[in-house]
């Protein structure tokens, strides 16, 4: 029996990933840039146990289906040259499946815990490639601070990995998450983005412009230009949701409180607070705040009708082994 426990933090994309290129296991059609969040994380323990006849998994003390997990563990087992089944015990410190990127922190933590438990010591890049095969956005949660995921060109995915851009302390932005619904989202990302080339007329434009958006964001981050980073973040978010809405059948992840929170962010900005919003495949609004402005933004968003809860967080560290 061998075991390891790892923690990985959730991340939020400023330039979004949506759509996969042909090939296996989450080869992204576009690159993406994200920030890792200190306050939202997953802790995962993996125990390889000869006494187990099949893999087992639990999340937040409830059993979960291993259909997506066993093929992922098979990648680790193949690499380590073992055949032992595993017990996975995982816990999120935030609501699961509601657009707070639980698959990102989840597969990053699982990648690190499973490889360590199997006796492997992967480099961050190798870990990122492995995590991507669980969930595309998980590749970025291997890193702290700002990270960029490369689309890659190769069919085997060996160039589709994330890399660190800035450590969290190098530009201590704050994020406020406004939770507008605690229920599990209806259409998960993998299903929402499948066969987009046939399902959305906007998809080719999304892919064609992605390099321009990424390059503008890289420059703005390097210059610590918060207004440009924020404007590009809102643009990428709204473009993503336009693409989602244009998908047959149209995907609408927002509820009335989502829209109210977006408008509240813009009203705060007009009144002088440096804050911009972004939204993933769910109804929660994430406000990107310049250093020192998180508290005021959290207070304002908590007053928006329909906002159930706010969470304020700094940028977080890379995934790490806890035990
Ligand atoms: C909207 O990484 O969850 O959050 O690769 O199919 O697991 P799979 O998708 P996932 O998609 C994330 C989409 C997004 C944008 C982003 O995080 O870049």
State how far the Cα of 119 lies from the Cα of 74, in Å rounded to an integer: 14
111, 137, 191, best to mutate for ligand 1 pocket (most atoms within 8 Å of CB): 137
pLDDT number for residue 96: 64
* Separation of CA 30 and ligand 1 centre (Å): 11
pLDDT number for residue 97: 55
Residues 6+ apart with CB under 8 A from 65: 57
* Separation of CA 236 and ligand 1 centre (Å): 14
Structural domain spans, the chain: 2-169, 174-314
pLDDT, tens digit, 9 for 90 and up, residues 184-193: 657 888 999 9
Largest alpha-carbon pair distance within the chain? 62
Specify the residue with its C-alpha closest to ligand 1, atom 4.
280
CATH number given to 2-169: 3.30.230.10
Which atom of ligand 1 has the smallest separation from the CA of 34? 18
CATH of 174-314, one of 3.30.70.890, 1.10.287.1120, 3.30.930.10, 3.40.30.10: 3.30.70.890
State how far the Cα of 277 lies from the Cα of 14, in Å rounded to an integer: 9
Cis before residue 166, ω within 30 degrees of 0? Answer: no
- The tokens for 163 are 């890399």
Q: Which of 303, 157, 217, 281 is nearest to 35 (CA)?
A: 217
Lining ligand 1 with CB less than 6 A are 13, 16-18, 26, 32, 101, 103, 135-137, 189-190, 280-281
* Separation of CA 135 and ligand 1 centre (Å): 7
34, 281, 282, best to mutate for ligand 1 pocket (most atoms within 8 Å of CB): 281
Residue 310, beta-bridge partner list: 178
pLDDT, tens digit, 9 for 90 and up, residues 5-64: 999 999 999 999 999 999 889 999 999 999 999 999 999 999 999 999 999 999 999 999
Which atom of ligand 1 has the smallest separation from the CA of 103? 3
Q: What is the mean pLDDT of residues 246-272?
A: 97
CB 300 within 8 A of CB 312: no
- The tokens for 37 are 């969040």
Rounded to the nearest integer, the mean pLDDT of the chain is 96
Which atom of ligand 1 has the smallest separation from the CA of 136? 5
Q: At what angle do helices 256-270 and 294-302 cross, to 10 degrees?
A: 140
9, 14, 33, 101, best to mutate for ligand 1 pocket (most atoms within 8 Å of CB): 101
What percentage of residues in the chain have a pLDDT greater than 70? 97
Specify the residue with its C-alpha closest to ligand 1, atom 1.
280
pLDDT, tens digit, 9 for 90 and up, residues 180-226: 998 865 788 899 999 999 999 999 999 999 999 999 999 999 999 99
Residues 6+ apart with CB under 8 A from 67: none
* Separation of CA 163 and ligand 1 centre (Å): 17
């Amino acid at each position: 029996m061998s075991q390891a426990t790892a923690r990985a933090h959730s991340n939020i994309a400023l330039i979004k990933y949506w759509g996969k290129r042909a090939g296996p296991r989450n080869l992204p059609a576009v690159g993406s840039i994200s920030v890792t969040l200190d306050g939202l994380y997953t802790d995962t323990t993996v125990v390889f146990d000869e006494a187990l006849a099949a893999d087992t998994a639990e999340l937040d003390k409830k059993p979960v289906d291993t259909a997506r997990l066993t093929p992922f563990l098979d990648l680790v087992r193949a690499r380590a040259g073992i055949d032992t089944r595993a017990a996975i015990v995982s816990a999120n410190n935030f609501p699961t499946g509601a657009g707070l990127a639980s698959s990102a922190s989840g597969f990053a933590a699982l990648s690190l815990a499973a490889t360590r438990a199997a006796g492997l010591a992967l480099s961050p890049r190798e870990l990122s490639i492995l995590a991507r095969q669980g969930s595309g956005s998980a590749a970025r949660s291997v890193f702290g601070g700002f990270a960029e995921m490369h689309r890659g060109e190769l069919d085997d995915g060996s160039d589709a990995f994330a890399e660190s851009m800035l450590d969290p302390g190098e530009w201590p932005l704050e994020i406020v998450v406004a939770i507008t619904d605690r229920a599990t989202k209806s259409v998960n990302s993998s299903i929402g983005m499948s066969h987009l080339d046939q399902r959305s007329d906007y998809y080719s434009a999304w892919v064609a412009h992605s390099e321009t958006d990424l390059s503008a964001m890289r420059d703005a981050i390097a210059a610590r230009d918060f207004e440009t980073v924020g404007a590009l973040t809102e643009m990428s978010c709204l473009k993503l949701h336009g693409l989602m809405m244009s998908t047959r059948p149209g995907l609408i992840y927002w509820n009335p409180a989502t829209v109210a929170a977006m408008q509240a962010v813009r009203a705060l900005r007009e009144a002088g607070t440096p804050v911009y919003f972004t939204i993933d495949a769910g109804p929660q609004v994430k406000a990107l705040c310049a250093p020192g402005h998180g508290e005021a933004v959290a207070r304002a968003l908590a007053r928006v009708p329909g906002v159930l809860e706010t969470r304020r967080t700094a940028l977080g560290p890379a995934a790490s082994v806890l035990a």
